[in-house]
Chains A and B, each alone.
Chain A
């Protein structure tokens, strides 16, 4: 176990965006088959962190390793092969608004995996049920849905086909507590039953405790604390303590 390289690793990642160093030497590890939760203030670069891991942004320096393999500047067939095992839920859902809901969910199955449309539709409806969306939603367009429903469709799209690594960018933001809990159950199920590696970003501490095995706190472009979720409450770290208490006073200054 210990000889095996971690599933996903950020090594000294730096990126400069819109005039400042968003990530400034970020080191982070997601262990195989575990669920990592990243917490941190608004605008601290959490979304950028996972977009870099997905290859959607290229860091100025540093490395991204998947199973120990450097994929930072990978292109072509090998890249497609590796990233075919990834799924991602975007913070803003990012549903294709020209396609009906079911085709959004089945997009990868139909366009990349070569499944027939009826089979894709069947699988999409099953995936929608997992996020508590009924069959009647399948033929609507994303524009016809509420924000929370769009988020759940995007979640179904990210997990369909059981990817090995899934990134969830604020999966429960904008959901009512009951649906949020169902979504958290779904994430736990993906990790516990299907053995995937999950990386989730959340502001919601209850969610973090429920879905996380490990927690990492991002601040000032670096990970200022990380550890198993059980040690969150006695971290002894002023950043984490302030975040947990939700105080305006402390090392973190509110982003207004």
Chain B
């Protein structure tokens, strides 16, 4: 039996003070408790954030940002009127996340900080590199759910549906530290295996993710989130795509394309964004964009299908964007 200390601080400062070696943050617990039960996380101290006033608030602020407290639940976010108004893409992503029961408990911060779902990582009998063990069991093993981009000695995929969607909306995160707090673009938040084999984001043991900020999207923006999983609910993405596009007349002026479930981090495909901007969204261009998106894919033995899947999803998303613009014109 692993015993641990359980503390519920009332302010961020108090929480920050409690942090340190062996301490871990508890938000909704939907991920952390699973990790603890399997012996993957063995905290000596759990710092429960749910006692901190205002950390679950969702507010629009005068400078045009929507601020989401890291403790806001996924359900709360999905039901928020401002989200429905400006960021339908987020709602699509949230509706495809886990199950209603989990969304009622899971928090936005926890979702961005959740640990990988790789079946070797989660299985207590495989001492993999992400658990400070020997190597990657997916290499040469059962790798159908693993990364086709950005793998390096470890081939996990980032499991979050929310992260690609937020990234496509140019979200930023606010990180609190005892000395200062900083705001970081979400694109810089996640960390791939080249930078760390045991951590999926930049947070240090002394830091807490306190909020997510999303700017108001550009005029005429269209966004969509498409996800494919083997089972409709309670299943992680085989691949997903978040797209946000804006036009001036027929010309694309803004494009964000982020892939989920295919890389150790939410995988932004800048080369596709760049080729979309400044032109019409024709069928031909969409095809080229799809090819471009998978240019640098390096599939493993059993996950080559993800290349076709990414293309299929991106094609659907871009066609949907195209259709929405045409509808808007009428």
A binds B: no
